[in-house]
Amino acid sequence: MPTLLLVRHGRSTANTAGILAGWTPGVDLDDTGRDQAAALAARLAAVPIAKVVSSPLERCRQTLEPLLAVRPELGVPELGGPALDERLGECHYGDWTGRPLAELAAEPLWRTVQDHAAGAAFPGGESLRELSHRTVTAVREWNEKIAAEHGGDAVWVACSHGDVIKAVVADALGLHLDHFQRISVEPCSVTAIRYTPLRPFVLRMGDTGDLSSLAPRAGGHAAQGGDAVVGGDTGAA
């Protein structure tokens, strides 16, 4: 099965303002976020990418603009950008949307979100269980589609949001959703998950550095199948 590179969008104006943006329209990358997006394209230069998929929100599409500028074949001509999937969009935070995080921290629900995420449901929005279900389903379906079209060693990129990525990582690790707050995902970081018929392998988590080693190795990952390397990966090319 393919390797998924989960990219969190670059730093946004809501991030710097301490606002929970959710699906608020018009939230763009700030200057630092645009620099991060430009650097991302260079970091991915050595990685053959079969497909790019994105949350439909502006900050994700803006993060992918520099990558698609140098690799236009990854875009969808009729969309003028990447393939879009609403299931990879931000959590629907309902009444929490647009409010300062410092203010939300005083809400009783805050502690549930922190300590018992599986029981957290946002008023007027969705629950974190629903978020996990839709995002993991989307990833699994894209994996099957990309494997069928590009082969089991294909690498694809999905640009999304912090809680979405944390939910997908928790699923890959077999981690209960209650513990997904233990996962940290910085702006414009890359989390790499290689899926196999037996289990996912989390290759990178929240990586902001060099990504060249994520290119498929000679002979492909398929020969290894779903078995882990006893004693740890050798790092051999």
**Mean pLDDT confidence for 23-29:** 94
Is 156 part of a structural domain of the chain? yes
DSSP character for 228? P
Phi, psi of 196 (to 5 degrees): -135, 170
Mean predicted lDDT score pLDDT of the chain: 89
> Closest Cα partner for 210 from 61, 51, 47?
47
- Would you state the pLDDT for residue 219? 53
Is 235 part of a structural domain of the chain? no
- Would you state the pLDDT for residue 220? 53
Q: Provide the residue type at 12 as one letter.
A: S
Question: Which H or E run contains 113?
Answer: helix 108-115
Whether residue 217 is predicted with pLDDT greater than 80 in this model: the reply is no
Whether residue 37 is predicted with pLDDT greater than 90 in this model: the reply is yes
Q: How far is it, in rounded angstroms, from Cα 152 to Cα 73?
A: 20
Phi, psi of 201 (to 5 degrees): -115, 120
Q: Which domain holds residue 114?
A: 3-211
- Would you state the pLDDT for residue 64? 97
Using a pLDDT cut of 70, give the percent of the chain over it. Answer: 91
Is 161 part of a structural domain of the chain? yes
**Mean pLDDT confidence for 6-31:** 94
> Closest Cα partner for 13 from 26, 27, 34?
27
Whether residue 221 is predicted with pLDDT greater than 90 in this model: the reply is no
> Closest Cα partner for 190 from 14, 42, 73?
42
Per-residue three-class SS string for 23-70: CCCCCCECHHHHHHHHHHHHHCCCCCCCEEEECCCHHHHHHHHHHHHH
Is 54 part of a structural domain of the chain? yes
- Would you state the pLDDT for residue 218? 59
* Residue 184: band (very low, low, confident or very high) from pLDDT cuts 50, 70, 90: confident
> Closest Cα partner for 12 from 37, 39, 44?
37
Question: What is the reported pTM?
Answer: 0.88
Q: Hunting for tokens 């940290």 — which residue is that?
A: 184
* pLDDT tens by residue, 103-160: 999 999 999 999 999 999 999 999 999 999 999 999 999 999 999 999 989 999 999 9
Q: Which residues contact 107 (CB under 8 A, 6 or more apart)?
A: 96
The CATH number of whichever domain residue 188 belongs to comes to: 3.40.50.1240
Number of compact structural domains in the chain: 1
